Amino acid sequence: MAWKELGQIVAEFQRSAGPFALATLVKASGSTYRQPGARMLITQGKPYIGRLSAGCIEDEIVDLAQAVILGGKPTRCSFDLRSRFACDGSIEVLIEQLVKPNALLDGLVQVLADRLPIAVSTNYRLTDAAPGTRLIAVPVAEHEEEFVQEILAPIQLIIFGDHFDAEAVAYLGSYLGWQVEIVIEAHKLPAGDARSACIVMSHHFGRDVAALGHVFAGNYGYVGLLGPRKRKQLLMNHMIDEGYPLANVSALHTPAGLDIGSESPEEIAVAIIAEVQAVLTGRNGRSLRERAAPIHRLEEPTFCNELR
């Protein structure tokens, strides 16, 4: 689930009185535009946030959701995208009522605040006493009609530098729903975590060295440095001479960004953001046409009886 949509869902839930409906894509077969875990928040009067397809089924889901909003009874619907929209797949969706307060939305707010993951269960077996979405302690499903999802914190993008080219990187990161912060003093750099990326782009050798010293002491999943290869080698040699661990220096992504022929600040920002996305999601940044495996990670659900 993209955090841009989750953030918008949280903002709308906090802003409006409700009640609402939450539509969750709980199961997908074949090739589909969105994967299980995609969600929509629907309000009375039919405005909605989020998407479960490329725009093919949203209006139908919104219409179905109006009865759920008023009556409170959840509904489950299936969409065969192969026959209707020439996509090679089908999906199942659970639509449930949301009222305030709601543990799921409160949990999402907490993820944004403390950057710790939460586990969410969506039980779409309507014969159960209480189908719907709830927070759980361990991301394990109890039966086959339960979709369990671990929601990680959004990518945190720390930009060290205040030149005009930092604006393009910050803009693109914000557009994706990442948590973006521009820092201009090395000692104010946060420690970071595995979902954090730091782009050092002060264009000043001494400031870059100071910034990298603080970043290497943290736990960033990605560290990138802007600049040409010659400057990179000088800086890396300097840091090794200063006693910084070789493993940290060697892991530095510099020059930062993917090789896509970037020239302008905006194009360079695209290359950097794409590399951050690839690294933090464990991808190689190559063309999708060269990928033999499925584009999306298709993980088999884990059930309680498999752990006993």
Of 259, 276, 279, 285, nearest in space to 201 by CA? 276
Q: Is 121 helix (H, G, I), strand (E, B) or coil?
A: strand
Q: Give the pLDDT of residue 33.
A: 80
Does residue 298 belong to any structural domain of this protein?
Answer: no
Predicted structure pTM score: 0.87
pLDDT greater than 60 at residue 300: no
Residue 148: strand pairing partners: 121
pLDDT-based confidence at 160, cuts 50/70/90?
very high
Q: pLDDT tens digits for 192-245?
A: 999 999 999 998 888 999 999 999 988 999 999 998 888 878 888 888 888 877
Does residue 196 belong to any structural domain of this protein?
Answer: yes
Q: Report the run of H or E that residue 62 belongs to, with start and end.
A: helix 58-71
- The count of domains in the chain is 2
Of 124, 160, 156, nearest in space to 142 by CA? 124
Does residue 305 belong to any structural domain of this protein?
Answer: no
117 and 197 assigned to the same domain: no
Distance from first CA to last CA of the chain, Å, rounded? 30
How far apart (Å, rounded) are the C-alpha atoms in residues 22 and 6? 12
Rg (alpha carbons) of the chain, rounded to whole number: 22
- Structural domain that includes position 165: 156-288
How far apart (Å, rounded) are the C-alpha atoms in residues 161 and 159? 6
39 and 56 assigned to the same domain: yes
Helix axes 164-175 and 265-280, enclosed angle (nearest 10): 50
Helix axes 205-216 and 229-241, enclosed angle (nearest 10): 60
Structure tokens at 280: 């933090």
DSSP string of 252-266? -B-S-S--S---SHH
* Surface-to-core class of residue 218, CB atoms within 10 Å of its CB (0-12 exposed, 13-18 middle, 19+ buried): middle
Report CA 107 to chain centroid distance, whole Å: 16
36 and 98 assigned to the same domain: yes
96 and 183 assigned to the same domain: no
Query: Of 116, 151, 186, at which residue does a domain stop?
Result: 151
pLDDT greater than 70 at residue 298: no
The residue whose two tokens read 């194009």 is 267
Does residue 306 belong to any structural domain of this protein?
Answer: no
Q: pLDDT tens digits for 123-132?
A: 999 999 999 9
Q: pLDDT tens digits for 121-157?
A: 999 999 999 999 999 999 999 999 999 999 999 999 9
Residue 63: strand pairing partners: none
Strand order in the sheet with 118-123: 132-136, 118-123, 146-151
129 and 219 assigned to the same domain: no
Does residue 167 belong to any structural domain of this protein?
Answer: yes
Of 27, 67, 62, 68, nearest in space to 48 by CA? 62
pLDDT-based confidence at 308, cuts 50/70/90?
very low
120 and 209 assigned to the same domain: no
Does residue 308 belong to any structural domain of this protein?
Answer: no
9 and 127 assigned to the same domain: yes
Provide, rounded to the nearest whole percent, the portion of the chain with pLDDT above 90: 66
146 and 226 assigned to the same domain: no
Residues in the chain: 308
